[in-house]
Chains A and B, each alone.
Chain A
Amino acid sequence: MNELVRCANLSRSFGEVRALNNVNLSLPSGRIVGLLGPNGSGKTTLIKILNGLLQPSAGEVRIDGNAPGVATKRIISYLPDRGYFPEWMRVSDMIDLFSDFYADFDRAKAAEMCRALGLDGKLAIKTLSKGTREKMQLMLVMSRSAKLYLLDEPIAGVDPAAREFIMRTILTNYSEDGTVLISTHLILDVEQVLDEAVFLRQGEIVLHESVDSIRERTGGSVDQLFRDMFRAQL
């Protein structure tokens, strides 16, 4: 299996605060990986560095052999943890924009997901609820056939019933040899979908293991292990 993401001795500080500390991480292609950690553990910082939105203070990142830049943006589909869309645009405008922007955007897929998620293309973004905006954003991101999907908190803003629906949307739409990195603290809602779990604590990776191996080793769920590990530090 070829290596898609490699982080070597990666650190990032914001003034006095060390958001990431000496992170070493290797992810193959074709996996669904959970980036799991409590609030403020460095999940978003790591994703932004993989995206090239933040520069590391030290260390190195390679995505499919390249440093973050034009080449990697072409193969990364990114769902930020917040919306960034102009309020006056319609859902169909966003689809046009994405389709112009990304060569791997699949309009048929977008139309199909709009139907499944109940998104009306004619609606203006300003009229959409928070949950519907998140669904739209997800639809746009999953309509690309990317090599790497970076999804920052894709289920945080929606109700539990919609979470399952969103996880299914991710599952049925990612390109087969692509890797999906999902950051979340809602482990119970994602763990059945994951191949691997990465636990972040205070900017450091404290565990990187396949979820089935966690279940075999501990006799419990990933959620349980997470609770145990992160309770112990309090």
Chain B
Amino acid sequence: MDFDLQNSRPIWMQLSEQLGRRIVTGAYPPGSRFPTVRDLAAEAGVNPNTMQRALGQLESEGLVITNRTVGRTVTEDVGVLDAMRNRLAAELREKYFSEMKELGYSRAQAAEFAAAKTEEET
């Protein structure tokens, strides 16, 4: 799983989003040790200050917890994880509606379309 970084947005934001996604999808399981800044920076090919800032963001969102003795760990708080999952899902939904709008679907039509497709498949 590689980082996908665009030069047109602050790198730290993209890193924290993509790390957040890894946490929600369980790539870094709840309660597990989080990789070090240095290792993550090397993996992403960015400098450690940038990665530090991305982790700072994850900490302020409560996804990652810094503990003096064991270092950084992934949160075990289901509420926090669900909230993040919800936020990502909401972003995905808005993206769907906005692209459907471009194709000429109203919001209601787009919702109907998504539901219909699901029924066809099941």
Interface residues of A, Cβ cutoff 8 Å to B: 30-32, 164, 167-168, 171-172, 176, 188, 191-195, 211-212, 215-216, 219-224
Asked if A219 and B8 sit within 8 Å, CB to CB, the answer is yes
Out of A32, A194, A215, A223, which one reaches B9, CB within 8 Å?
Answer: A215
Q: Which residues on B sit within 8 Å (CB–CB) of A31?
A: 49
18 pairs from A and B in contact (CB 8 Å cutoff):
A32-B49, A168-B42, A168-B45, A171-B42, A171-B46, A192-B5, A192-B46, A195-B50, A212-B10, A212-B53, A215-B7, A215-B8, A215-B10, A219-B8, A219-B9, A220-B8, A222-B7, A224-B8
Complex Cα–Cα for A191 and B45 (A) = 11
Q: Which residues on B sit within 8 Å (CB–CB) of A211?
A: 11
Q: Which residues on B sit within 8 Å (CB–CB) of A216?
A: 9-10
Complex Cα–Cα for A32 and B53 (A) = 15
User: Which 4 pairs across A and B sit closest by C-beta, in order of nearness?
Assistant: A221-B7, A212-B10, A32-B47, A215-B10
Q: A195-B50, A212-B50 are in contact. Are A167 and B8 (CB under 8 A)?
A: no
Complex Cα–Cα for A106 and B38 (A) = 19
Asked if A30 and B10 sit within 8 Å, CB to CB, the answer is no
Q: Which residue from chain A places its CB closest to the CB of B13 in the assembled complex?
A: A212
Asked if B49 and A195 sit within 8 Å, CB to CB, the answer is yes
Complex Cα–Cα for A230 and B33 (A) = 46
Q: Which residue from chain A places its CB closest to the CB of B49 in the assembled complex?
A: A195
Q: A32-B47, A194-B47 are in contact. Are A221 and B12 (CB under 8 A)?
A: no
Q: Which residue from chain B places its CB closest to the CB of A212 in the assembled complex?
A: B10
Q: How far is the CB of B17 from chain A (nearest CB, A)?
A: 14
Complex Cα–Cα for A32 and B11 (A) = 15
Q: Which residues on B sit within 8 Å (CB–CB) of A32?
A: 47, 49
Q: How far is the CB of A228 from chain B (nearest CB, A)?
A: 13
Interface check B41, CB cutoff 8 A:
yes
Asked if A192 and B42 sit within 8 Å, CB to CB, the answer is no
B residues 1-23 near A (Cβ < 8 Å) are 5, 7-12
Q: How far is the CB of B56 from chain A (nearest CB, A)?
A: 13
Asked if A223 and B7 sit within 8 Å, CB to CB, the answer is yes
Asked if A192 and B48 sit within 8 Å, CB to CB, the answer is no
Q: Which residue from chain B places its CB closest to the CB of A223 in the assembled complex?
A: B7
Asked if A167 and B7 sit within 8 Å, CB to CB, the answer is no
Out of B8, B46, B50, which one reaches A221, CB within 8 Å?
Answer: B8
Q: How far is the CB of A66 from chain B (nearest CB, A)?
A: 25
**Contact string against A for B residues 78-94, beta-carbon threshold 8 Å, 1 for contact and 0 otherwise:** 00000000000000000
Complex Cα–Cα for A218 and B48 (A) = 24
Q: Which residues on A sit within 8 Å (CB–CB) of B53?
A: 212
Complex Cα–Cα for A224 and B8 (A) = 9
Q: Which residues on B sit within 8 Å (CB–CB) of A171?
A: 41-42, 45-47
Asked if B49 and A30 sit within 8 Å, CB to CB, the answer is yes
Q: Which residues on A sit within 8 Å (CB–CB) of B7?
A: 188, 191-192, 215, 220-224
Q: Which residues on B sit within 8 Å (CB–CB) of A168?
A: 42, 45
